[in-house]
Structure 1
Amino acid sequence: MGKRLGFFFWLAVVFLTVLGLAAIFADVLPLKHPAETFAGTSKSGPSLTYWFGNDAVGRDVFSRVIYGAQVSLVISTVGTMLALTIGGLLGLVSGYYGGRIDRWLTATLSATIVIPPLILFLALVLFLDSEAQRRVFILIFTFVLLSIAPIARVVRAAALTWSGQDFVLAARTLGARDGRVLFREVLPNVAPSLISYSLIIMAGLIVVEGAVAFLGLSVPPPTPTWGDMISKGRTNLDVAAHISLMPAITMFVTVLALNFVGDKLQQHFEPRESVL
């Protein structure tokens, strides 16, 4: 398995693991406080002491990038997991039962795909609540609502394939209930496609969260976010490009790694499914 997935797959996995662990244990790691300023370091570039340099007020950019990962990863992970649960269940039911249930669920879910996530979020913020502390919940709700349909479509396609296999028909013939067939026979075979695609969804959510933070509508200060750091560094691009460049590169590599791992996992499991 490791040989087929390749070196760059495991390199991406290592990067995501290190970044995730650093974000989780940021408070116990020897990192500088993200809000702490250091005299005489304003706009100074990367160095051995400050790996990513300092921002316009002298804060450590590397520390802020790590703490900013907490926001991006938590929001995207929670949104993906909730969408995975709801969308996966709907896709499983739609693909397994087919018929009228399949047509109704497919039509309903397809209607949500055309909604632009950023526009929906802005509308919900203006309509429901403008309080900054609650925007993160609206953001997660938006992510979940718009991620359910893509996940459900992938699971539905896989469930349609596996529901016609001999071992599923045998389980039905032996009198197994639909619930047992769904969760004991179909779901374990659908899970690889579901997990790999969820990583791609998660990458997309990180980009949307970054765009929202860039507009100043994500987690309020002083909590750092990648999008907010990129936005605030724009005024210093000519003299201190690293202020925006470092969080932008981190976001780019994170999204690239998630997409690469998801694509590789899909390619890895597709031959196995096609043979069956």
Structure 2
Amino acid sequence: MHKRLGFFFWLAVIYLVVLGLAAIFADVLPIKDPTQTFAGTSKNGPSLSHWFGNDGVGRDVFSRVIYGAQVSLVISTVGTLLALAIGGLLGMVSGYYGGRVDRWLTATLNASLVIPPLILFLALILFLDSEARRRIFILIFTFVLLAIAPIARVVRAATLSWAGQDFVLAARTLGARDGRVLFREVLPNVAPSLVSYSLIIMAGLIVVEGSAAFLGLSVPPPTPTWGDMINKGRTNLDVAAHISLMPAITMFVTVLALNFVGDKLQQYLEPRESVL
């Protein structure tokens, strides 16, 4: 398994684990306060005391990147898990029962794909609430709505391929209830592809959250976010490009790592499914 997944897979996994742990334990790590300003360091580049340099008002960019990871990872992780639960259930039900249930659910999910994300953000965030905690809830709710349909379509396709297998038909013939068949027979076989695809969905949600933050629609200041840091630093690109470049590189590497891990897992699991 280790040889087939390769060195870069494990390198990406290590990066994601380190980033996640750093975001979780940011308050106890020996890093600077993300709101503290250091006199005389405004727009200074990377140094031994400030690894990623300082922003336009003298705050440490590295600590702000770490704390900004909290917002991106919490929103994308919670949004993905909720979308997996809802979209996965809808996809299994649609693929398992087929017929009228499948047609109705498929039509509903396809209709949800035409919702413009930016319009949805504007409607829910600008007109509902600007308080930080409630805005996080609104962002997660929006991301769940956007992610349910893609996840449900993937699960439905996988369920269709497993619902006709002999062991599923045998379980139904022996009188097993539909719920038991779905969760004991179908779900364990659908789960591997669902896990790999969820990482790709998570990467997409990080990009969407960064775009929302860039437009000022994410968590309001003083809470740092990657998108807001990129936006604030673009006015200094000519004299202090690191202010935008460092959070942009962090977001890029994070999204790349998630997509790479998801793709590799999908490639690794496909031969096992074809053998079965």
Instruction: Tell me what 1:211 maps to.
Output: 211
> 2:41 matched to 1:9?
no
Instruction: Tell me what 1:157 maps to.
Output: 157
Task: For residue 271 of structure 1, report the CA deviation from its aligned partner.
Answer: 1.6
Instruction: Tell me what 1:40 maps to.
Output: 40
Q: TM-score, normalised by structure 2?
A: 0.97
Instruction: Tell me what 1:179 maps to.
Output: 179
Q: What amino acid sits opposite 2:147 in the alignment?
A: S
Instruction: Tell me what 1:239 maps to.
Output: 239
Task: For residue 274 of structure 1, report the CA deviation from its aligned partner.
Answer: 1.9
> 2:135 matched to 1:135?
yes
Q: What amino acid sits opposite 1:199 in the alignment?
A: L
Moved more, 173-182 or 233-242: 173-182
Task: For residue 131 of structure 1, report the CA deviation from its aligned partner.
Answer: 4.8
Q: TM-score, normalised by structure 1?
A: 0.97
Q: What amino acid sits opposite 2:112 in the alignment?
A: T
Instruction: Tell me what 2:191 maps to.
Output: 191
Q: What amino acid sits opposite 1:101 in the alignment?
A: V
Q: What amino acid sits opposite 1:230 in the alignment?
A: I
Deviation string, structure 1 residues 59-100 (Cα, Å, up to 9, x no partner): 110000000000000011111111000000000111111111
Instruction: Tell me what 2:58 maps to.
Output: 58
Deviation string, structure 1 residues 99-143 (Cα, Å, up to 9, x no partner): 111111000001111222222111222343455552222211110
Instruction: Tell me what 1:96 maps to.
Output: 96
Q: Is the 8 A contact 2:113 2:149 kept in 1?
A: yes
- For residues 10 and 130 of structure 1, the distance between their equivalents in structure 2, rounded to whole angstroms, comes to 40
> 2:31 matched to 1:31?
yes
What number of residue pairs does the alignment pair up? 276
- For residues 126 and 47 of structure 2, the distance between their equivalents in structure 1, rounded to whole angstroms, comes to 43
Moved more, 177-186 or 114-123: 114-123
- For residues 270 and 114 of structure 1, the distance between their equivalents in structure 2, rounded to whole angstroms, comes to 30
Show structure 2 runs of 5+ residues with no match: none
Deviation string, structure 1 residues 122-167 (Cα, Å, up to 9, x no partner): 1222343455552222211110011100000000000011111111
Query: What is the DSSP-based 3-state SS (H/G/I as helix, E as strand, rest coil) of the residue aligned with 1:28?
Result: coil
Q: Is the 8 A contact 2:121 2:217 kept in 1?
A: no
Deviation string, structure 1 residues 166-206 (Cα, Å, up to 9, x no partner): 11111112221111111011000000111111111111110
Query: What is the DSSP-based 3-state SS (H/G/I as helix, E as strand, rest coil) of the residue aligned with 1:34?
Result: coil
Instruction: Tell me what 2:261 maps to.
Output: 261
Q: Is the 8 A contact 1:132 1:217 kept in 2?
A: no
- For residues 55 and 124 of structure 1, the distance between their equivalents in structure 2, rounded to whole angstroms, comes to 31
Q: What amino acid sits opposite 2:258 in the alignment?
A: L
Moved more, 106-115 or 134-143: 134-143
For the aligned residue pairs, the C-alpha RMSD in angstroms reads 1.1
Deviation string, structure 1 residues 15-51 (Cα, Å, up to 9, x no partner): 0000000000000000100001111211111111111
Deviation string, structure 1 residues 215-252 (Cα, Å, up to 9, x no partner): 11211111100000000001111111000000000000
- For residues 201 and 173 of structure 2, the distance between their equivalents in structure 1, rounded to whole angstroms, comes to 37
Q: Is the 8 A contact 2:79 2:143 kept in 1?
A: yes
Q: What amino acid sits opposite 1:122 in the alignment?
A: L
- For residues 272 and 210 of structure 1, the distance between their equivalents in structure 2, rounded to whole angstroms, comes to 36
Query: What is the DSSP-based 3-state SS (H/G/I as helix, E as strand, rest coil) of the residue aligned with 2:36?
Result: coil
Instruction: Tell me what 1:119 maps to.
Output: 119
Moved more, 66-75 or 170-179: 170-179
Q: What amino acid sits opposite 1:269 in the alignment?
A: L
Q: Is the 8 A contact 1:118 1:208 kept in 2?
A: no
- For residues 128 and 59 of structure 2, the distance between their equivalents in structure 1, rounded to whole angstroms, comes to 34
Moved more, 51-60 or 242-251: 51-60
